[in-house]
Chain A
Amino acid sequence: MHLTDVIGILVETVVLGSIYGLVAIGMTLIYGTLRILDMSQGSMVMVGSFVGWGVLVVAGWSPALAILFAFAITFALGTFTELISVQPLMGRRGFDFEMVTFITTFAVAIVFANVALQVFGPFQKNVSPVVSGGIDIYRGVDLSYQNLTMALVSIGLMAALGLFLARTRWGLAIRAVAQDLDAARLMGVPVMRLYPLTMGLASALAGIGGVFLGAKFFAYPGAGDLPLLEALIVVIFGGLGSLPGTLYAAYTIGLIQATAEVLVGTTWSLPILYGIILLILIVRPHGLKGRPEEARL
């Protein structure tokens, strides 16, 4: 391996890791508060890609508008998903809440993908990059401005989320609900309003990610499948419900994937990831920073 490879891997790690983090952090947030795995998170990336296509390519407007629209639309969709597929199941008995919401959010994802198929057709659409051009970092190692922007925006959004959770009233409330639901309710936190809000926020983050990912992977109805899988991998590896864990995991997975791509080529990198996930689940299911009690029976 040459130095150029190493630098290439480092760059790719930061780029991949940041976008993984952005999409996965929504899932962690949702799991922490609602205690569900939101299987519709991937389809929010897909929606974001289509919004990107619609705004940037079809309408020819600015990237800032694309991001704004993606945020608004996926926030609304995420809230809607929570209200129809999670909220009605809360507090009821006679079934496994986690399993059933796994299935219902999955059903929502299928519906979204299918609607997209009907509306936009099966062929992938090119989404223009938010910014074009790039720089040469080191003797042939390219960093496109698109990737750079993607990484910066992702990092920025994750930092903003962190600040929101640490410093604001609602951010504190979200953390409270995640840490002790009963206590949060006793403090007067309107949990039934907080849940859709949280899911909307998480979906919006994924939607913005979709605007960028669309340029790399095109906008098409199935565009949500891969991000969903990758987000699941990151979230489990980092420990379900742990935000710092998700961050570490995102960059670690990014590193693994970047290395795998250099060493064995792109075809094998996804199965290798799956293999890793299998290994983690067998050896240390609570991941890096999750709580063991939650993973084990």
Chain B
Amino acid sequence: MNGAPRAVAGAEPVPAGRDAILEVRDLWSGYGDTMVVRGLDLRVPAGQTVVIIGPNGHGKTTLLRTISGLVKRRRGEVWLAGERVDGRSAEYLATLGMVHIPQGDLLFPDMTVEENLLMGAFLPRSWRKRHAALEHVYGLIPGLRERAGQRARTLSGGERRLVGLGRGLMREASILLIDEPSLGLAPVAIERVYAAIRDIHAQGTTILLVEENFTHIGDVADIVHVVEMGSIVRTGPLEELSRDQTVVQTYLGTL
């Protein structure tokens, strides 16, 4: 789908020729009567890593969950690779290549690491290639192969995060949604997780990443959006935003 770059509020104009894998228009979503995502517009161009920063409770996780189909949107549109997908089920979106690596990992607790990974390749096409995918993931993420037979519920926080990441990589993704990969981890573990993310980014995978603050996203972020109260309030490359004192104070201060 070739189109002239569209000016959507809150997003940088995209250089001609780069298609948007994911496009979100005026999205409203929440729980019950409470709207947490409020009129959010977003574009994720192919091959880029778009990072969303913001305080907790301001809709970042809900945004990802709405995009991936776990939460029903109240209003607005979601487009994946030119197909309108808002309102579709999470299972259907998975078949379109949407891979959501959720906050809290959501591993299958009584399955082994390898079984968790295999579930990542559940879809028929991916299932046929599961052995190769398994090898690929074992190679990419350290420490998984050794724990292949270990029950997920016995893993440490960092190990779980890596399994979650690996599980998301077991199939071909049109876009990876990653929700706060550094949450609750010790610095060493965070570094390992982000090393893997950097590798994935380097391979050209389109990524929408959510984090609470700037600390680790330096090498991966192509564009950063700041989300407050459910919509995007600032946008720009990381260097530009980190020169803005108000932003720095708010988001570098929170750790």
Chains A and B directly touch (beta carbon < 8 Å): yes
Name A's B-contacting residues (CB within 8 A).
Answer: 169, 172-173, 175-176, 179-180, 182-192
B110 x A185 contact (CB < 8 A): no
The residues of B that contact A187 with a CB separation of less than 8 Å are: 94, 119-120, 122-123, 167
Q: How far is the CA of A187 from the CA of B69 in the complex (A)?
A: 12
Interface centre among B107, B108, B120 (most CB of A within 10 A): B108
How many residues does chain B have at the interface if contact means C-beta atoms less than 8 Å apart? 25
The tally of CB-CB contacts under 8 A between chains A and B is 65
Q: How far is the CA of A186 from the CA of B107 in the complex (A)?
A: 11
B111 x A186 contact (CB < 8 A): no
The residues of A that contact B118 with a CB separation of less than 8 Å are: 172
**In the A-B complex, the 8 residue pairs with the closest CB atoms:** A188-B94, A183-B106, A185-B90, A179-B108, A188-B123, A187-B122, A187-B119, A185-B91
Any A CB within 8 A of the CB of B115? yes
Known contacts A173-B122, A176-B122, A183-B102; 18 additional CB pairs below 8 A are A173-B119, A175-B108, A176-B111, A180-B106, A180-B107, A183-B107, A183-B108, A183-B119, A185-B91, A185-B94, A186-B68, A186-B99, A187-B94, A187-B120, A187-B123, A188-B122, A188-B123, A192-B91
The residues of B that contact A190 with a CB separation of less than 8 Å are: 91
The residues of A that contact B106 with a CB separation of less than 8 Å are: 180, 182-183, 186
Any A CB within 8 A of the CB of B14? no
The residues of A that contact B102 with a CB separation of less than 8 Å are: 182-183, 186
B91 x A172 contact (CB < 8 A): no
A186 x B94 contact (CB < 8 A): yes
Any A CB within 8 A of the CB of B139? no
- Whose C-beta in chain A lies nearest to the C-beta of B72? A91
The residues of A that contact B94 with a CB separation of less than 8 Å are: 185-188
A212 to chain B minimum Cβ distance, whole angstroms, is 31
A-B CB contact pairs (8 Å), 15 listed: A169-B127, A179-B108, A179-B110, A180-B106, A180-B108, A182-B90, A182-B106, A183-B108, A186-B94, A187-B122, A188-B91, A188-B122, A188-B123, A191-B91, A192-B91
A179 x B91 contact (CB < 8 A): no
Interface string of B87-107 (1 = CB under 8 A from A): 001110011000110100011
Q: How far is the CA of A184 from the CA of B120 in the complex (A)?
A: 9
B33 to chain A minimum Cβ distance, whole angstroms, is 13
